[in-house]
Amino acid sequence: MKRIDSLRAQLGGPRDGALLRYSLGVALLDAGDAVEAMAHLRAAIDFDNGYSAAWKQLGQACRRAGDAHAAAAAWRRGITAAEARGDVQAAKEMRVFLKRLEAGR
């Protein structure tokens, strides 16, 4: 919780941006709070729509929150973002996640 509290304390300050929101979203997801993680990962994407790692984690958060449709949408958008930036590995990972989701695994 210390890490989460430290990250939350920086919200709205000069360091608030895609990386801070992504970091907070991942920390919340790791702590089991998928719903709040989704909000911060979406904020990261609002700061940088091409942030493929945020799209990937948003898909994970949506899946953990039980919203398979939103997870699939996040990964599809993330694949597009990753390909646009040449992030081949992130695109590949999201394709695997999407394939597993669509197969019901």
Question: How does 70-100 read in b/e, with b if 16+ C-beta sit within 10 Å?
Answer: bbbbbbebbbbbbeeeebeebbebbeebbee
Mean pLDDT of all residues in 58-81: 97
- pLDDT above 90 (res 74): yes
**H helices present in 1-105, as ranges:** 2-9, 18-30, 34-47, 52-64, 68-85, 88-102
Mean pLDDT of all residues in 59-88: 97
List, for residues 76-91, the tens digit of each pLDDT value. Answer: 999 999 999 999 999 9
Looking up residue 87, the CATH number of its domain turns out to be 1.25.40.10
State the residue range of the domain holding 19.
2-102
pLDDT of residue 105: 67
- How many domains does the chain fold into? 1
List, for residues 25-36, the tens digit of each pLDDT value. Answer: 999 999 999 999
